[in-house]
A and B are shown apart, each in its own frame.
Chain A
Amino acid sequence: MNTANITWMLAETGIKAFVIVNIILVMASAEVWLERKVCAWIQKRNGPNRVGPFGLLQPFADVVKLFMKEDIIPAAASKNFHRLAPLLSLMMAVAVYAVIPYANYVDVMGHRVYLGIAPNLNIGLLYILAMTTLGVYGITLAGWSSNNKYSLLGGLRSSAQMISYELSMGMALIGVVLVSGTLCLNGVIDKQVGWFWHWNVFCQPIAFIIFTVASFAETNRAPFDLPEAEPELVGGFNTEYSGMKFGMFFLAEYANMATASCFIAILFFGGWQLPFPQEMLGLKDGSVQLALAQFSSFFIKMLLFIFFFIWVRWTVPRFRYDQLMSLGWKILLPLSILNALFTAIAIIVFKL
């Protein structure tokens, strides 16, 4: 690789990364607004409607408020670890976006620009798993460093829950990897080309259900939001956090929700593939119009799953901790292992 290529790549990556980080932060705030609106709608209330049109500027007002709040670090806490925890959470939530493909590619000035920071990386899926695992550190560290009993319990519960469901998540992904034969996210999407019945959800329905349930647990969302079960643990791992440090956990949680929705869309619903063969649009590969169509397809799928996450949170009651653990270890884990095994047998026997 010569110098010109490296310069081009660095410039391209820099611009894309900057744009995407901004989108993540805006998306996370927009999700907070969406969550409050949907929740209000479900409970027959109005929701935020004072700041800006339809209350759209409410999350930004909240961010300004959080910045202006006093930032308290308890005297008994380990100060540096206390600071490190929200940083780690947010950092990992942002870093996962490096491998997400948003659309196929656009040809700009003779260069092929892929829409995503590194969508063709050959270890995309492993990278996702690695980063979501590192996210556990942020929460565990927050629980431990606060030196508060509620925080510690919340952190412990959270880490036990996240590592348990990560197993089923990884095993469910094996089914998808077996079908597509690659760990590269654009590769997985390429295998789902054509009409919508080629999407992985139709050949891996069990993996889809397991993955969805596990991502609820991974993102600490209801019905698995035990780490911050308010009636028992005050605020869980973030009891001792105030100001924007609390806001960072919040942002990271919502960014993770968006990530989980992206991955469900990519792995099981064809990512940026349109629900029909893209030749039917009559646009040529690499044109801006086709990329826009693909991006809208991806974005709609993602929004639907974000809505699903919110819908479930305001509909389903919280699990009890022993029920949560036995669901993870005694049902989802064996089921996902068997799913992987039967998928492999089907592939070999029917030569798929």
Chain B
Amino acid sequence: MIIGEYIPLFIMVILGFIVGAMFMVLSEVLGARRKTFEKETTYESGMIPVGSARERFSIKFYMVAVSFIVFDIEVVFMYPWAVQLRELGVQGLVAMSTFIVILLAGLYYEIKKGGLKWD
């Protein structure tokens, strides 16, 4: 039975949830609670907070996220190939080498184009 092998993983995730939830509930129940207005304001070096924190932020983070998606998918593609390389033989190696060379060329282009520049 295939599913049976994965049951331990679910048990562990659920156990992690229980431990976390227990800590959280205990912390909210056991701790003292004396709410004041000043205590509940957001910390901003002792000043009264100016505006909301949810404003626009630097585009560089978007660039990194987009590049991550592209490269992460490539990494995931490579796992089955890496496991099966000995059966795939020379043909598998040539196919994946072509793919990797294109990938590296893409990375080189992105770096030269300044897509990952941080200053």
Interface residues in chain A, defined as those with a beta carbon under 8 Å from any beta carbon in chain B: 1, 6, 9-10, 13-14, 17-18, 21, 25, 66-77, 83, 86-88, 90-95, 97-99, 117-118, 120-122, 125-127, 144, 146-153, 156, 159-160, 163-164, 166-167, 170-171, 174, 177-178, 181-183, 234, 239-240, 243-245, 247-248, 321-322, 325-326, 329-330, 333-334, 337-338, 340-341, 344-345, 347-348
Contacts and interface: CB of A to CB of B under 8 A. Distances in A.
B24 A87 contact: yes
A330 B41 CA distance: 41
Interface string B78-119: 110011011001100100110010011001000100001111
Per CB-CB distance, the 3 closest pairs between chain A and chain B, nearest first, are A244-B27, A94-B16, A322-B118
Nearest to A74: B42
Given A163-B64, A325-B64, A341-B97, A91 B20 contact: yes
**Chain A, interface SS category:** helix
A19 to B, nearest CB: 11
A340 B9 contact: no
B4 A160 contact: no
25 contacts: A17-B12, A17-B15, A69-B32, A75-B40, A76-B52, A86-B24, A88-B20, A91-B19, A95-B9, A117-B8, A117-B9, A147-B54, A149-B53, A164-B64, A166-B72, A167-B75, A174-B78, A178-B85, A181-B86, A240-B43, A245-B24, A326-B118, A337-B103, A344-B85, A348-B90
A76 B9 contact: no
B68 A167 contact: yes
A70 B61 contact: no
Point out which of B44, B83, B117 has the most chain A C-beta atoms below 10 A from its C-beta: B83
Contacts of B30: 67-68
B100 to A, nearest CB: 5
Contacts of B28: 71, 243
B86 to A, nearest CB: 6
Interface residues of B, number: 68
Contacts of A18: 15
Given A67-B31, A149-B53, 20 more contacts: A69-B32, A70-B31, A76-B52, A91-B16, A94-B16, A95-B12, A97-B12, A147-B54, A148-B49, A148-B53, A159-B61, A160-B60, A174-B79, A177-B79, A183-B83, A239-B43, A329-B111, A341-B100, A344-B82, A347-B86
Contacts of A92: 16
A182 B49 CA distance: 53
Nearest to B5: A121
Nearest to A156: B61
Given A121-B5, A163-B65, A167-B72, A72 B16 contact: no
Contacts of B118: 321-322, 325-326
**Chain B, interface SS category:** helix
Given A17-B15, A94-B19, A234-B43, A71 B72 contact: no
Given A118-B9, A240-B42, A326-B116, A174 B82 contact: yes
Interface of B: 1, 4-9, 11-13, 15-17, 19-21, 23-24, 26-28, 30-34, 39-45, 49, 52-54, 57, 60-61, 64-65, 67-68, 71-72, 75-76, 78-79, 82-83, 85-86, 89-90, 93, 96-97, 100, 103-104, 107, 111, 116-119
Contact of B20 (A9, A86, A99, A338): A86
Contacts of B104: 334, 337-338
B68 A164 contact: yes
A247 B23 contact: yes
B71 A160 contact: no
Given A91-B20, A325-B118, A330-B111, A72 B39 contact: yes
A118 B107 CA distance: 37
B33 A70 contact: yes
